[in-house]
Amino acid sequence: MSIALIFIIIILAIRLGWKNYSKTKTTNSAKTKSIKPLPSWKIKLFTVWVFFVVNLKRLFRDRVALFFSFLFPLIFLFVFGSLSSNSQISMRISLINESGSAFSKLYVKQLESDKVFNINKSIHTLAQANQEISRGEIDANVILPPNFGKLDKGIPHGKAIVQYNRSNQQAGQTLISLLQNQFNGINNHFVSYNPPFKVTSEQSNAHSLTSFDYTFTGLIGFAILGAGIFGPMNVFPELKKMGILRRLHTTPLKVWQFFLSNMLVQAVSGLLSVALMLVVAIALYHLKIVGNLAELAIFISLGIFLILGIGLALGGWAKNERQVAPLGNIIVFPMMFLTGVFFPRFLMPQWLQSITTYMPLTPVIDGSRMILTEGKGLLDLGPQLLVMGIWLIIVYAIAFRVFRWE
């Protein structure tokens, strides 16, 4: 009896356990069926996002990359910003006063207080002055003869002598003109004279660009050039050498996904670099921003994508650093010196301006300047956007064509 009861209890327990197991299995299978797989386009974009995060972390962990992405452009900003802030006319001269008159002493003080004249006070003799002029360390020498400033009928008279080198006639003539203007003002105090012809000046209210405005937008182009070309040009051959790209090629990763992740990383780092340059330029060199910063960020991002396409083509094609360096220099240096990076394009001959208008970096620099300092919008940059769009198609067609995983 007891054995039969135990047997029945075991049977019931087994049946109850099986029923619960069946319910659990059915519920789990139903849950499994309710979870839909992600669409393929989401999986592909998620892959891009993963590589973007990985590359961004790698960038901020690499001290060398941080230096060339952020500090290197700042060094050029400090150098050219200092040069632009000291760009006013300054004549390097020596002054030898051979006269002991009171007027000559007053006149020397007036010259020393004038910022136009940078007087070398270590020169005291004509021999020293001639030696410095021959070396090109000063532009000219001003001599006040012994009779300079002597009184004649109560009025001081005299002639200042300007000595300059034959090879530096322009500086000498400029100095003579400046001194003559000073003497004209002094003469008017002693002798009344009303000339029949005069020149008057009027100040325009229109906003004008300073030399630093051109310099800063050129340095934006330099930062984009460095990040967009030198980055892939140095990194890709190294990844091929280490075999990393070969291993990535064995995965489902596509070339466009790899390119897009790099484009996003360079856009973020480029915008951060430009933002840092803006802060320094405003704080130290009083850069005046007229345009919309959001539109500037969009336009600079397009410029980064364009220049990065050149870097992707070079880095993707080259097998090693020795192969890519000569070709990279052939492409980079003309853009660095002919597109307005270091000096304005309007200083070039007209025929050269016409040619350089269609170089990839030229519309990037011109458009950035038009937004930042002239207050233009993206809709006003039709010609620049057209040139950039054509180059985008060309460089990425080449980049996809020549890219090699190893």
- pLDDT tens figures, 43-84: 777 888 887 888 788 778 877 777 777 888 888 888 877 776
pLDDT of residue 386: 94
**d(C-alpha 208, C-alpha 388), whole Å:** 26
Residue 7 in tokens: 């047997």
Mean pLDDT for 279-306 is 87
The 3-state secondary structure of the chain, one letter per residue? CHHHHHHHHHHHHHHHHHHHHHHHHHHHHHHHHHCCCCCHHHHHHHHHHHHHHHHHHHHHHCHHHHHHHHHHHHHHHHHHHHHHHCCCCCEEEEEEECCCCHHHHHHHHHHHHCCCEEECCCCCCHHHHHHHHHHCCCCEEEEECCCCCEEECCEEECCCEEEECHHHHHHHHHHHHHHHHHHHHHHHHHCCCCCCCCCCCCCCCCCCCCHHHHHHHHHHHHHHHHHHHHHHHHHHHHHHHHCHHHHHHCCCCCHHHHHHHHHHHHHHHHHHHHHHHHHHHHHHHCCCCCCCHHHHHHHHHHHHHHHHHHHHHHHHHCCCHHHHHHHHHHHHHHHHHHCCCCCCHHHCCHHHHHHHCCCCHHHHHHHHHHHHCCCCCHHHCHHHHHHHHHHHHHHHHHHHHHCCCC
pLDDT of residue 7: 42
pLDDT of residue 5: 47
**d(C-alpha 131, C-alpha 134), whole Å:** 5
Q: Do residues 171 and 181 make contact, with C-beta atoms less than 8 angstroms apart?
A: no
| Size (the chain), residues | 406
Distances in Å between the alpha carbon of 245 and those of 47, 64, 258, 312, 402? 15, 21, 10, 14, 15
Q: Which residue has the higher pLDDT, 269 or 166?
A: 269
Q: Do residues 373 and 213 make contact, with C-beta atoms less than 8 angstroms apart?
A: yes
CATH of domain 89-184: 3.40.1710.10
pLDDT of residue 201: 52
Q: Are strands 155-157 and 150-152 parallel, antiparallel or unpaired?
A: antiparallel
- pLDDT tens figures, 222-268: 888 877 887 777 777 777 777 777 887 778 778 888 888 888 888 88
Q: Do residues 302 and 388 make contact, with C-beta atoms less than 8 angstroms apart?
A: yes
- pLDDT-derived band of residue 146, with 50, 70 and 90 as boundaries? confident
pLDDT of residue 393: 93
**d(C-alpha 160, C-alpha 154), whole Å:** 19
Residue 234 in tokens: 């140095």
Q: Do residues 218 and 274 make contact, with C-beta atoms less than 8 angstroms apart?
A: no
pLDDT of residue 195: 66
- pLDDT-derived band of residue 363, with 50, 70 and 90 as boundaries? very high
Q: Where are the domains of the chain?
A: 43-84+210-402, 89-184
Q: Return mean pLDDT, the chain.
A: 78
pLDDT of residue 397: 92
Residue 104 has pLDDT above 90, yes or no: no
Buried b (16+ CB within 10 A) or exposed e, 169-188: eebbebbeebbeebeeeeee
**d(C-alpha 142, C-alpha 129), whole Å:** 9
Beta-bridged to residue 169, according to DSSP, are none
**d(C-alpha 386, C-alpha 378), whole Å:** 12
- pLDDT-derived band of residue 385, with 50, 70 and 90 as boundaries? very high
**d(C-alpha 182, C-alpha 285), whole Å:** 31
Beta-bridged to residue 152, according to DSSP, are 155
Mean pLDDT for 292-310 is 90
Flag the least confident range among 69-73, 145-149, 197-201: 197-201
Buried b (16+ CB within 10 A) or exposed e, 353-366: eeebeebbbbbbbb
Instruction: Write down the residue that tokens 């006639």 correspond to.
Output: 169
**d(C-alpha 261, C-alpha 383), whole Å:** 28
pLDDT of residue 389: 93
- pLDDT tens figures, 118-134: 888 888 888 888 888 87
